[in-house]
Every structure is written in C-alpha cells, then in structure tokens.
Structure 1
C-alpha cells in the first residue's frame, strides 16, 4: 500500500467525498483533483490497492479473478433460488479493489452504439453529446476512422502483445460464410453486426489499462498535488444529511481486511458535494441506508429517518446473460492459454522469464450479430413482436455479442487439449431484477433477485437459443474444429442429429471436412430446443455487466437521478456509475463506465466552479 493511501486523523472535513473507487469513481476523483487544485477531495474505497498486484497488471492473469474466493472480488448472490434458473442462486462478482471492474475484468474493448445513448432519452446524454467523452479517455491504437477515437487519453487501447492469428482467421472466415462480415471497426459507434479481431484495454507493451493506475496514480505520486486523499480498505455505510442536504458520509474499516477488532464508525463532512460511485450492485444500498429509497423498503429495513421517498432505488437491475461453450480444436499449445490454466510451473516460468502471452486477455475475436429475416421467422411470435418493435427499423443494433476465447475453463480430459470457448450474451435483455437492503448496517444481507431469464414471454431465452446455434455453426465451419467439449453443451436426446461429436481427423483432411460442414448446417428438433433451453436455465450466468439500479430518468418514471446526476429530493448528492443506465448498453460495459465518469466529472467541475464564483 503506497504512502499516499491514507487519511490523516486531523482530516474530518473536505470539499468533496467520493464513495467508491471503481472505474467511474477513479475518473471523477482524478479529473476533479486536476481541474480544481484548490478543492480538497476524499475517495473512499472498500478494497485494497491494485498497485504492484501482478494479477492486475498482467492481462493474462485475469482468470484468477474468476475465482469466487478472489480477494479482489465482491460476490453478490441472489437471496433465494430463482425458478427460471432451474432453482439456482446466481452469484455475480463485482470489483473489490481500487479501480473496480477495470482492475479485474477481461479488458475487452467494446463500445455502446450512439443509438444506445439516445435511448436514455436524457438531455445532454445523447450519442452525439457523448462522443467527446468517449474519445477523451482513450489513446486508440487500432483500425478505423481516427476521428471516432481518442488519441491522447490515459487509457490505451491496442491488440496487446499476443495473438492467435490462425484461430482468428479461420473463425472470421466461418462467420463470413454465415453472413456476418469482417468489419474494420466494430466499435465505430454505429456498426451493428460483424466480427473483428479483438482490441483490448491493454497497452502495446502488454499492461492492463485500469482506472486506478492510469487516472489516480499519476496524481497521487505527484508531490505538488496535495488536494486528493484516497482511503482504502474502508467502506461507506451511509450518507449523512442535514435536513435534505448531503453533509458528509459515515464509513468504517472493511472487516475483510481488518479483523482484529469490530470496525468503528467514523464520519467526514463534505462542504460541497457527496458522490456515490459504488456501482449498480452497491450504490442503491448506500442510498437506502442513508434514508433515500422506497419508504416501504426503508421501513422494513429499520432505517430510522426517511430523507427522500424514491421507489426507483434498487429497481430495474439488469445484466447481460452470458454463457460459454467449449470446443475441441487442432490448435497448437502456443496458440491458447490453457497451459497457464493447468500448469502452475509453466505460468511461473512465464512470469519469471517474461512471455508475450502475458499481454493477452485470451479473447481473440469479438462479434456482434443480428438474425436474418429467415432466422426471425423461426424464433416465435413473442420474439417477432419485439423484433418489429425494437430492432427492425431505425439505426440497426445487434441482438447478441460474444467472443472467441483461447481457453477452456472446464476441460475434463486427463491431459489438457487445446480446447477453446465461445462466449455469447444478450445485448438488450428484457428481464429485470432488484436489489434492496434488509437492515440499516452494511453487514446486513441484501435482498437480491437477479431476474436473469425471468421475462414472462421467454424472449431472452429465445435469443440465447439462437445465439448458441449460431456460434456453434461458426466454429463448426473452421478447419481447426474437432467437436464439442460435451460437458459444456446441452444434453441432447439419444439419436439427435445435433448431438455433440469428437472428430478424429488428420490435418490433411480438415479443409475438406470444414467445407463439407459449411454445406450441412445442423438441424434441431423441438426436443433439441427443449434440451438447449434447459441447459441454459441450469448454467447461464452473467457478463459482470450490472446496470440500472439508480437510473437517470424522470422521477415519475422510476428515476433516481436527473440529467446532472443529482438525486431527486435532496441536495448535494450525486450518483456517478453505471447504476444510472436508463436503458440497455449493447456492449461490454467498461467503456461506458469510463465515459460516464468523464461526463460526470465535466458536470461536477462546472457546478463546483460556479459554486466557488457565486
């Protein structure tokens, strides 16, 4: 832990308190500190520092964060079995380290469409308004129109230091045979369907580009700047009010890190502003413990004072339902990261001696796809109605996203084969869940219902069935394909033409075999579809993309914040993270979190400058 990560006992009042050091919180803190050197700021983060942590800096080690016991994660588990998920309680991780999700995610560079921002229907947040902020944070090293990307921001975007060109070339060719073209720039903010070699939040030299390292640390290590304090391993319990004005926060040591004695509450005043930036899974709880939320929820949770009755707090939770399916291939060990997953000695050698593969996130190709008219016709009336209503007309948008992943997390073979996986997730799910406190203390459990696959018409499930069939056709058409890793696929009925296979063919025969498979698309019966649906209910998770629990919308429509991110019914309190998302984000969400942080900082700076001149 660096010497700058501290809060002197004498500091009991600052100008601005930022609760949460995730992606957006780090951006806000850094931008405010740099723009307003006369103001004092305090950022409070419940996790540890990410400096010097190899699992953060080396992109390849992202897989260590998949472990539910990782100290860098906070696990949110649904409160009760969810019937639509075959009675499972879904566990969803969130960033529990400085930098939040940007420190632990898979670093996939993926941008929402301009249409996505337009759908928020909020003045100042339309797609055209967001372009400057989307460009501001990035230094883009990739193909496409340079005018649509940033060239001098703190976050570098590149291919990193390692690629699997044979796998990418074959997969892209197979996708094109199905009508999904290779595009120059899948992230130009308008392209809605295609495939592209994955760009990553990785520097050309192979280092993860997270918000803490790239935004905060340069300021904290600059001895000339004394206006920013960062307190780690402490979490904000609630916002303190004087009447309806946010006057500070109450916080305490995180018992996950400091277990010697019961944590004692401490408070710090905020002269000008409190910003809650704890993410979609935690920001609503902070608001509710502070007396801001549905009055009925607060009474049940024994919150003593109701400051503002806002029924929208904690409602509208949505996430991208995601699942991975794995396939046998004829690739060489050097083309996947399976050795790092299965052999600690190999990984240790790479870390000691250096290896370009450390600069890889294992995602080789990204895709966003839309069904053809023929596909839509076979996807049922409920889906067809949604397609007509939301997808057929206007600027196009994709239905499903995903990636070719050069690893298999579930390899049952005695010795590791070079198996790979394909992820797929609904980009605009219909299903919604909720998250509310059950008591006034941060230690009280949260009443969380993910709602994944719960839409009454089953549209999200229909979309995932289509996604499965589509990406399976993609991989089947590649010469490297050798069959399915059966434990990651549905249990098809005996004799099904869609049953999993293992192909024992030579390299000389693979081109002929792949050409044959391009002519013979798999057929699925109603029983096969039922098997796919059941498998999805039993295994689907999320893409770690929680959204929408403090949405930016009119108060009468369940909104929690206005266009300036001010919480309704109170003064001096802001929310700045992806909990404000008023609609779907058709992409991995880290890009949007950076943009929200930049936009929020711009709003806050203008307000704080105006306040100082008043």
Structure 2
C-alpha cells in the first residue's frame, strides 16, 4: 500500500508548501499547472483515440438487427440473450453471461459510453452529467405533501447508468433487509437464496477491497478480495469530516469500523467508496466492460438505441413468450432483434416499468386508456415506487477549508467568477497530476445510521419519546436503521442546480431510509419517447415526517457537539440573509422543522420496487428467479425488483443482485 499512498503524500507536501506562498503566487503556480495539464490532456486524447482497442460497441444497427421499414421486416438477427439497459445491473449481466462462450449476448443501451468523457472518472464532478445527454432528466409530478414542488431525479443515460453519476458510497444495507426480502417470497422456488446468509456471498464476489492503514480495524476476512469492483477508503478525507465523526461519537453515535458486515449497519464511519487507488470513480462499465470483455466475439453492445417494446409470440391459451425487442435509433428508425432464449430488462426503476407497460404488461385500465393491447394485466407494474428522501442542512465552516469553498461554484449568480475558475483549474490540475485533492471527494464522506426509536440517543438531543411510542416500526429488524445522517464538506442546493452563496459552507443531511409512503410510475402516452409520469408521493404518511423531524433533532445535537460546534460560526454572530443556514436548528419548533422538511426534500437517487419480487397475489411482478409472472422468456434485473427498499445505499445491492441473476441464468442453461 505504500506505493499507492505515495502520490497522495507528495501532493499533500506540495499543497502545504504552496499555502506558505503569497496568494498571487499560489494562483500563478496553480494556473500554470492547469495550462500544462490542458496540453497533456489534448495529447493523451489523441494518443488514446489512435490506440483504442477495437470493441463490439455498435451504432450501425443493420449489422446486428433487422430494420422495420414501411411495416416490413428485412434481414434476420438472433441472439441467445437480449439485455435491455446497460446501467448498474446491465453491465454486470453482459459481462457475466458472456463468460459462457456458447451464449450470444446483445446489450442494448439508450445512451452511450462515458469512459472518454473527461469528467466521467473524476469523483467530485459527477454533477457535470446532470441536465446533459447523459441524463434522462426526470422530473416528478408536483408533490402534494412537499410544497407542491416538482423534484428533479437525475438518472444515468449511459453505460454504467447511475453508477456513473452517484456519490460512490459502497454500502449494503442491514442484513435483515435481505432476510425480509426472502420472507416476502412466501416459500416460492429460490426464495431462501435471498436471505443474507446466502445472498451476502454476491457482495464479496464483486468486491475487491483495498485495506487502509488508517482504518486497520476493518476485518479483511469479511471483505471480498478478487472481484472486478475496486472499493476502499480512497477519496478525500477532509478535516471537517473528521470533526463530524468525532461529534457523532461524542453525541452518542458510536464509531463502527465497517458498516458492511453481518453485525449490521448501526453506527458512524468514514464511508467506503467505489473509488480506486488512482483516485478514479469505479462504475459498472469500467469494472465489468473491460477491453478484454469487449473483445469477446459473443458479446455485442448497441449504444444510442432505445428499446420501444418487447416482442411476444404464443398460441391462444398459453402464456406469451418474449422472443425479442424492438428499438429505435436516434433518428427514430425502428429495428427488431430476436432472443432465442430470453429477454432481460435492466432499465432501472423508472424505465423498466415503462417498457413493460408499453409492451402490454401492466395495469389493464391504465394501458387501455392509451389503446395499448393488454397482454397481461399486472397491477404491480409501476406500483409501490419507493425512494430515499433526503433533507439538506447548511452550516458555515469557520475553518475555511479548501473543501467547503467548493460550495461556491465558478458561477456567481449568473456571472463567471475568475477567482473561482482559477481555483477550480488548480484543483483539476492537482487531481490529474497527483490523483489527490478536493476533486477526489465522493461528496458524502461520512455517515451515521441510527433508529428513530432510540430513546437514549434522542434524550441526549433533548427529545423525549411518547409513552407508548405509537410510531410504526418500518425497519426490517431491531438492529436495522431508519435514519441516515451523512456529512458533506461542502454544501449545495437542489443537486447543485441553484448557485450557493459565496463563502465556506458544509452540509449535514438526513435520509429517511424506510419510508411508508409509496408512489407510482405511469405512462404519459403510448410514445416511448415521452418520459413516464413519476409520482413518489413524498410524505403521504405522517410517519415519514415524524421520523425526519426526529432526525433533524439529532442533527441539531451533533452540530452543537464538540469538535463540530467549534468548526462552525455561532448563530448569534452570523448574518444569514439567504435563509439557507441552519445554525438555529435546535431553537426551531417541530412545526417549523416540518415546514422546512416539506420544502427542501430531494431524492437520494435511490428509486426502487416498481417491478417487485413477490407473489403475484401480493402485487409482485417477478418471482425469486426474477421471471415475470404470467409470461415466458422474460426476466427483470435492476432495483425495480427490490421487494422493499433497503436501509442504505442501493448501488451495492443492485450489483450483487445482478451477480445473483447471472448465476441463476447460467445455471438454467448449463455450463
């Protein structure tokens, strides 16, 4: 590990020396590095463009599918497995299934690859993908119980999907979450394999954990060591993050060396990240679609191809069989391709139900309203949408750390700030040359997990729980959390869409892990190009507000606990004209906090459960082997099949789910 840490040590010494110099000289040296870097990037791009290995990523679709022109089909093309969606799960499946050279695998992705985008592997710059062609740019309906606001939901439209534009937190959730998944299957074939004792092997299968001398209490025997996905404690570790963790400990949230073991996820810790030893973001595209995998003759990847519907055949009286898909290119020209064995939908919790409904699988009355032929009446498709709502709280940073200055972007209320631009160029140079500095942050650097019924902890925050406490326990078990509090060494508003006021700021954020409010995904029209209607129904139950008010009280306790309290400005001495800062959180009433929660709620990017794994009579869409109820040759594999949302971040369970699905499918076909 010494050789891996050396570049970071050099960068730290460089930064320390640089800070001793006069500010103008610092700026000149940093700008000079940025200019040199820019020239290097241009040269490297030219070299890479000439040396790229040939892959089987296809945009000339007549080579792989048959065009549909004037209602007639020409040519013929058939694969054993057709995968729809190359997101977090789809890349895993494409790689694992094509390990069997006898299986011809076609992966169809609506977006392109992100690997040659200069921002794609820089951890802190994932927000640069928002509101671009790499983003589906989903907005919810106005939220009745959340100030009637429409909420922006970033969703990755590229290989790697949302693993290419998330906060890179490697976290499984509580072990009992998966025991609950298994119990919800009511003894169907394969149900027991979702129990944590059995399913946990798939976390270790994809993981390649890199030990850290700074976190030596982690038991490496419990971590995976040979998987394709690099994880570890890489990434920025700001001084204010350490202040937050120490304050959590002093406030009663015990430190936990590892939040991803059978012991559970309660406690506080620096988060493990999907960042490699070179400071680069790890996505499922970069981990699973390596040059060696792309060179496999039995794997073909079609990019910039949007699937419009699944094709079915079958005699009357028999369950219809999925035999292929129809998709369109960027010009709208239609193509069809056949699947000899099966079709697998991995388009995510928003677009998987959309594709199913466009194909005639969904609530009959809803489909009929758009004159879509009802193939299978499936009320569960697009129902039970669950998400993790997050509330952002903002505080001034008295330490004026480099990280907290990132809250103030290069745009100064619509005007370019030359000083901010210069600073960002210096950060980019530091990252490119030494793989260190602020741009290695995963943004959410530390987290604490707890329960809303922890009377002892809440008492320290000045909250006395009612006796009896009638709040519904929505967790999966007594050791599972329903509250997450995470720390960011900078602040942002609405995912960075709104400029933050000048100065140094940090954020503390509360997450409702086990909401009781559920929403829907519905069609806007029968046109595949029309975005679906997304209504998460945030705060439809009082339970969800009550939990978040208790979480806000814990935040107030933490920020007023040393050493965090000394790192932020005293509210009496601050002049907040923006109305954004929350130094007086402890003095606010429950009603005031509730109003703030309803106004500020945003998504944590974790939609799930819209094609749930459960018995059909319970609203389930797929069985424990991920086969869609009522049809043949069709499976779903992405977060939409979660029976209920996990009490943690969803990327890791989704990757493990895809690893499990690959084993199921390969087992069905034999070696």
Per-residue CA deviation, residues 249-278 of structure 1 (Å, 9 max, x unaligned), is 00012xxxx4xxx41111100111100000
Q: CA deviation at 1:489?
A: 6.5
Match of 2:236? 162
> In the TM superposition, what is the alpha-carbon distance from 1:102 to its structure 2 partner?
0.6
> Is 2:325 the counterpart of 1:238?
no
SS in 1 for 2:307: strand
Shift of 1:324: 1.3
**What is the CA-CA distance between 1:390 and the residue it aligns to?**
4.9
Residue number among 70, 75, 78 corresponding to 1:13 in the alignment = 78
Change beyond 3 A, Cα 1:390–1:26: closer
Q: Deviations over 1:59-97 (max 9, x none)?
A: 1212324x4x23221122223x22201111222121111
567, 589, 611: which one pairs with 1:480?
567
Task: State how far apart, in whole Å, the 1-side matches of 2:235 and 2:143 are.
Answer: 42
Correspondence 1:597 to 2:658:
yes
The answer to whether the 8 Å contact 1:325/1:488 transfers is no
- Structure 1 position 416, deviation (Å): 3.6
1:351 matched residue in structure 2:
428
Partner Cα distance (1:326, 1:491) in 2: 5
- Counterpart in the other structure of 1:316: 384
Displacement after TM superposition at 1:221 (Å): 4.2
The alpha-carbon distance between structure 1 residues 601 and 382, as it changes in their structure 2 partners (threshold 3 A), is: farther
Q: CA deviation at 1:415?
A: 7.8
Deviates more, 1:232-241 or 1:471-480: 471-480
User: Quick one: distance in 2 between partners of 1:339 and 1:426?
Assistant: 24
Deviation at 1:483, TM superposition (A): 4.5
Counterpart among 338, 341, 353 of residue 269 in structure 1: 338
> Does the CA contact (< 8 Å) of 1:161 and 1:205 recur in 2?
no
Q: Which residue of 2 aligns with 1:153?
A: 227
Residue 73 of structure 1 aligns to a residue in which SS? coil
- Equivalent residue number for residue 609 of structure 1: 670
Q: Aligned match of 2:507 in 415, 421, 432? A: 421
Answer yes or no: is 1:215 the counterpart of 2:288.
yes
Task: Give the alignment partner of residue 119 of structure 1, picking from 145, 170, 180.
Answer: 180
SS of match in other structure, 1:57: coil
| Deviation, structure 1 residue 420 | 0.7
Aligned equivalents of 2:520, 2:389: Cα separation in 1 = 15
The answer to whether structure 1 residue 294 and structure 2 residue 294 are counterparts is no
Q: Distance in 2 between matches of 1:92 and 1:407?
A: 21
TM-score (norm 2): 0.79
**Offset, 1:8:** 5.3
Q: Which residue of 1 aligns with 2:620?
A: 559
CA gap of 1:603–1:327, structure 2 versus 1, over 3 A, is: same
Quick one: which of 64, 67, 86 aligns to 2:128? 64
Residue 31 of structure 1: how far off its partner (Å): 0.2
TM-score scaled by length of structure 1: 0.86
The answer as to whether partners of 1:428 and 1:584 remain within 8 angstroms in 2 is yes
Q: Which residue of 2 aligns with 1:447?
A: 533
Decide whether the 8 Å contact of 2:106 with 2:300 is kept in 1.
yes
d(CA) in 1 for partners of 2:398, 2:241: 14
Matched, 1:461 2:461: no
Offset at 1:370?
A: 2.1
Is the CA contact 1:300–1:438 (under 8 Å) kept in the aligned structure 2? no
Gaps of 5+ in 1: 493-497, 501-521
Moved more, 100-109 or 333-342: 333-342
CA contact (8 A) 2:235 2:273 kept: no
Deviation at 1:154, TM superposition (A): 0.8
Distance 1:200 1:340 in 2: 24
DSSP-derived class of the 1:317 partner: coil
CA gap of 1:83–1:292, structure 2 versus 1, over 3 A, is: same
Q: How many angstroms apart in 2 are the aligned matches of 1:109 and 1:237? A: 33
TM-fit CA distance, 1:553: 0.1
Tell me if 1:325 matches 2:393: yes
What residue is the counterpart of 2:271 in the other structure?
198
Determine the C-alpha separation between the residues in 2 that align with 1:378 and 1:218. 58
Range 144-153 or range 282-291, more displaced: 144-153
- Looking at structure 2, the residues matched to 499 and 553 of structure 1 have their Cα atoms a distance apart, in angstroms, of 45
2:455 to 360, 373, 378: 373
Deviations along 1:148-188, one digit per CA (max 9) or x if unpaired, are: 22101111112224321x32332222112221111111222
Aligned to 1:512: none
**2:472 matched residue in structure 1:** 386
Task: Give 1:339 shift.
Answer: 7.3
In the TM superposition, what is the alpha-carbon distance from 1:557 to its structure 2 partner? 0.2
**Alpha-carbon offset, residue 362 of structure 1:** 2.7
What's the CA shift string for 1:32-66, capped at 9, x where partnerless? 001x112111111111211122221111212324x
Q: 2:416 maps to what in 1?
A: none
With over 3 angstroms needed to count, the CA separation of the structure-2 counterparts of 1:473 and 1:550, relative to structure 1, is same
Q: How much has 1:413 moved relative to structure 2?
A: 10
Q: Do residues 574 (structure 1) and 660 (structure 2) align? A: no
C-alpha separation in 2, matches of 1:29 and 1:221: 10
Aligned residue in 2 for 1:281: 350
Q: Aligned residue for 1:550?
A: 611
Structure 1 equivalent of residue 135 of structure 2: 73
Q: Secondary structure at the match of 1:334?
A: coil
- Provide the rounded CA distance (Å) in 2 between the counterparts of 1:414 and 1:230: 40
Secondary structure class of the residue paired with 1:109: coil
CA contact (8 A) 2:407 2:491 kept: no
Give the Cα separation in 2 of the matches to 1:598 and 1:249: 23
Q: Does the Cα contact within 8 Å between 2:408 and 2:499 map onto a contact in 1?
A: no
**CA distance, structure 2, for counterparts of residue 383 and residue 543 of structure 1:** 28
- How many residues align structurally? 561
What is the deviation of 1:395? 4.1
CA–CA separation in structure 2 for the residues paired with 1:140 and 1:301: 49
Contact 2:307 2:328 in 1 (8 A): yes
Structure 1 residues 487 and 294, CA gap change in structure 2 (3 angstroms)? farther
Aligned-residue offset at 1:454: 1.0
Q: Does 1:23 align with 2:88?
A: yes
Structure 2 CA distance, aligned partners of 1:423 and 1:414? 16
User: Cα RMSD (Å) of the superposition?
Assistant: 2.5
**1:306 offset after TM fit, Å?**
1.8
Give the aligned partner of residue 168 of structure 2. Answer: 107
2:599 equivalent among 535, 538, 547: 538
Matched residue of 1:569: which SS? coil
CA separation of 1:395/1:491 partners in 2, compared to 1, >3 Å: closer, same or farther?
Answer: closer
Q: Contact between 1:336 and 1:406, CA under 8 Å: does it hold in 2? A: yes
Pair 1:129-2:194 in alignment: no
